Amino acid sequence: MNWGKWIVTAFVLFALFVGTLVTVSLRQDITLVTREYYKEELAYQEQLERKQNANRLEEKPDLLVVDNERLEVRYRDLKSVSSGVVTLFRPSDAALDHVFVLQATEDTVLRFPLEAYEKGLYKARMRWTMNGKEYFIEKIIVL
């Protein structure tokens, strides 16, 4: 075999290698932090204001996992909450995110079952409206 055939063979093998890499790369599922990542980035100032409002509270809500069976939201002013959600955000897989709706109640603890959820690291995010203001807290939890 002469040099010309080896050079052509090398180029063909290189082209096959690059084609394989491109094909594998295109088939990968790349998820952003959230589905609406860019939209949320534009609203970042509002999010900062929600966090500042929560930091100004005398008593802040607490998000706890009890016996890996339930998520508890403990807050003295739950009766004043007009609307809100608690999101369990799984950074490694968006399909494992869960949303729980907050309801105003005279009780100081809300409980949400967690038995069916996959074990691992989650970010518990609580966003609520109370007395016309919006609030936000975030806590890392592990199931």
- Residues 44-71: what's their mean pLDDT? 87
Mean pLDDT of 109-116: 84
Structure tokens at 3: 């040099």
Distance CA 63, CA 22 (A): 44
Same domain, residue pair 25 and 46: no
Both 97 and 72 in one domain: the answer is: yes
Q: How far apart are CA 1 and CA 32, in angstroms?
A: 50
Q: Examine the domain organization and report whether 14 and 82 are in the same domain.
A: no
Which of 36-40, 46-50, 78-82, 103-107: highest mean pLDDT?
46-50
Range of the domain at 129: 37-142
Instruction: Give the pTM.
Output: 0.70
pLDDT tens per residue, range 80-96:
888 899 998 888 777 78
One domain, residues 76 and 106: yes
With a CB cutoff of 8 Å and minimum separation 6, the contacts of 128 are 61, 81, 83, 84, 85, 102, 134, 135
Q: How many domains does the chain have?
A: 2
33 pLDDT band, cuts 50/70/90, is: low
Token pair listed for 61:
């809500």
The 10s digit of each residue's pLDDT in 93-107 is 777 888 889 888 888
* 106 CB-near residues (< 8 Å, 6+ apart): 78, 79
Asked if the model's pLDDT at residue 6 lies above 80, the reply is yes
